[in-house]
Structure 1
């Protein structure tokens, strides 16, 4: 069923409240602050955290809901985008209708509610990708505007905001764990080994390559497994998984019909004073220089698109070998969220090097859109 227009589904008073909250200032937090604040979770710190989220989440969610209403090229009217907008408005309404948080009982009820909000938004990325596909379908290839900067900039802001919202909710919920893993403060591992995370992410990517192609190149990892620093392992896993997956696919497809043994993908972890840098190198043939500007956009993928109009998005399995071209831009947003970055350097005819920079200082604020 197609999503309805705004005023058919939501009251005028709610829409006015969304605009009022969307004009308020967001408050950014740093990795270091989250780590120090949550280091010894107590009823009091959890109460303060919930009170902060009760004020902060509606501001962030309202801003995205407003922006979803006025996207260029008619993107706001696509059924998939309307569905995402409805999720944001439902979540805003849930947050604003929750009374003031005064005690532990309120805090626990609030925590249950924001857990449900996080689940509601699980499929925002594939659903927005579907909306962009719907837009692309409207344009015949020759009439697709060459400059879609507005859409790319919106999606960067939108997904960066989503990373922040999910980090704040996930961190608060994880602080309730009565038996947290050793050295973990919510989502943050205070002694994370980037070599170990890279190993797990590589194994996951390699198993998908094996499933897709029946074989997979080797992966060699260089670095000190005992070196640790504070970071969010799930974020690093996602980024390394995406980069290794791309490298494996490039090498596998280049050497599939060759008599030569496919060269390994190499991962090097370097421990610097400011940054931890992870370099992922392959000999998959590289990317033409003309293609490099496209790799961080949301309308470019060299793989077959796994999304279609009849997709049951609720049961969608997000881990495919390649797909809707969002892996690299979203990985770069994850890197930038805590002050890092992602760079891709290519030698056409040979291979690609990806440099993933992670700030080890932990004191850069969220880059709020």
Structure 2
């Protein structure tokens, strides 16, 4: 019997409130007014939810173990390696046959890649996969897996239009997964359910797979749109796909710098004294990249430098030291050195900044902040909500956002890019996962991220991004 059978059949132990450890159930970082709502009467109302299967789940049922046989068949298949050059080949001169081939590739490939990640979740220790946030990811992935494996062969452009509508809607419905993944990592840290090395490997695997799936889907959507508008369009030899835009380094640092400054203006008593952003070197360097990923990389690094500078010098009444960016444009890479005078980091702590594992205290603080980020979509079961300034106002009782609450009653709001909301989040909502996330994103695209620090003075963060057009034959997208 597989581990999933032990978890989801009658042999598994009962769910309990502490195991589904959303921030609402941790008494150490919520206020007394909120705790007063969590009474015995409220818990009694939800006692039927404390069974072997989550009451809100359409997938985690007594029959799930037997349905798992279908998943096993897919998980034993191998994903098809894809390079950016192959994607570019479809886009340089499109035909009806190429568009249909791309559609059927997406249709066949995604169930395989999703099955691999579902199996990874199934083989996690019980205390990890029993986590509320990772259970939501499991539910979401299984929903996606079932949806894609049932789509028939796409033979006409009309059928492809319907297919694109479906996958666009699916992407919107499951935008919450990144938030769940990050919060699940923090809760696993609090309960010490995974060793730090295992947690980092799990997070890296899940993030890489997420990137590859979304690139494959979004590239097909863009190819379909291009063929519909300009069926005879021909692109230049260095073209590697519509979703990879030509990015000017100075321009995008300027855009992200304004985001970061705006997020801090409300909390810094003297906005006019905030650090300037000085850009030196090859300021006009251009390279192809995915703009959301680029902005996230730039944003988290700049946020750290600005925060450190304000923390170290903000008590003074004079202009704070600038944050300097040096850009070096080489044949195959673009390198960025972000230098600040924010006091630096102790050498003993440098290694830990790249890990998703945090101390329980920092993890609790980060979880609380996740729930306060305006607009960030946190809860799913395909009935989702955004976090707000007052969780109490959106729920009728203290169990509303825990595993025993009625998640289906949470209102559905407009969805936005999770990365965008993380970049523009207010300054006070520190998460502690920015650099580990950036490390994975940089590495995925054949880049690198490192930091040198002089304790008591400042830090140099070095980001190297590969010019993807020159490495488009590397099969990044096999990282399923």
Q: TM-score, normalised by structure 2?
A: 0.69
Alignment of 1:277-316 (within 5 A): 277-300=335-358, 304-305=365-366, 306-307=369-370, 313=379, 314-316=385-387
Q: Which residue of 2 aligns with 1:111?
A: 164
Over 3 Å counting, the alpha-carbon distance change for 1:203 and 1:107 in structure 2 is: same
Q: Distance in 2 between matches of 1:113 and 1:338?
A: 28
Structure 1 residue 344 and structure 2 residue 407: aligned? no
SS of 1:344 mapped into structure 2: strand
Q: Which has the larger radius of gyration?
A: 2
Over 3 Å counting, the alpha-carbon distance change for 1:97 and 1:37 in structure 2 is: same
Structure 1 residue 102 and structure 2 residue 102: aligned? no
Gaps of 5+ in 2: 1-48, 380-384, 388-420
Contact 2:179 2:378 in 1 (8 A): no
Q: Which residue of 2 aligns with 1:196?
A: 251
Structure 1 residue 211 and structure 2 residue 266: aligned? yes
Alignment of 1:1-369 (within 5 A): 2=54, 4=57, 7-8=60-61, 11-12=64-65, 14-72=67-125, 74-137=127-190, 139=191, 144=192, 147-178=195-226, 185-189=241-245, 191-214=246-269, 215=271, 216-300=274-358, 304-305=365-366, 306-307=369-370, 313=379, 314-316=385-387, 318=422, 319-320=424-425, 321=427, 322-360=429-467, 361-363=470-472, 364-366=474-476, 368=479
Q: Distance in 1 between matches of 2:117 and 2:210?
A: 9
Over 3 Å counting, the alpha-carbon distance change for 1:325 and 1:28 in structure 2 is: farther
Offset at residue 327 of structure 1 (A): 1.4
Q: Distance in 1 between matches of 2:62 and 2:261?
A: 45
Offset at residue 295 of structure 1 (A): 0.9
Gaps of 5+ in 1: none
Over 3 Å counting, the alpha-carbon distance change for 1:32 and 1:287 in structure 2 is: farther
> How many residues get paired?
361
Q: Distance in 2 between matches of 1:85 and 1:145?
A: 17
Q: Distance in 1 between matches of 2:107 and 2:67?
A: 17
Offset at residue 5 of structure 1 (A): 9.6
Tell me which moved more, 298-307 or 88-97: 298-307
Offset at residue 57 of structure 1 (A): 0.9
Q: Bigger relative contact order, structure 1 or 2, given CA contacts below 8 A and separation 6+?
A: 2
Q: Distance in 1 between matches of 2:149 and 2:444?
A: 27
SS of 2:321 mapped into structure 1: coil
Over 3 Å counting, the alpha-carbon distance change for 1:68 and 1:323 in structure 2 is: farther
Segments of 4+ moved more than 6 angstroms: none
Q: Which residue of 1 aligns with 2:14?
A: none
Contact 1:220 1:266 in 2 (8 A): yes
Over 3 Å counting, the alpha-carbon distance change for 1:224 and 1:116 in structure 2 is: same
Tell me which moved more, 170-179 or 274-283: 170-179
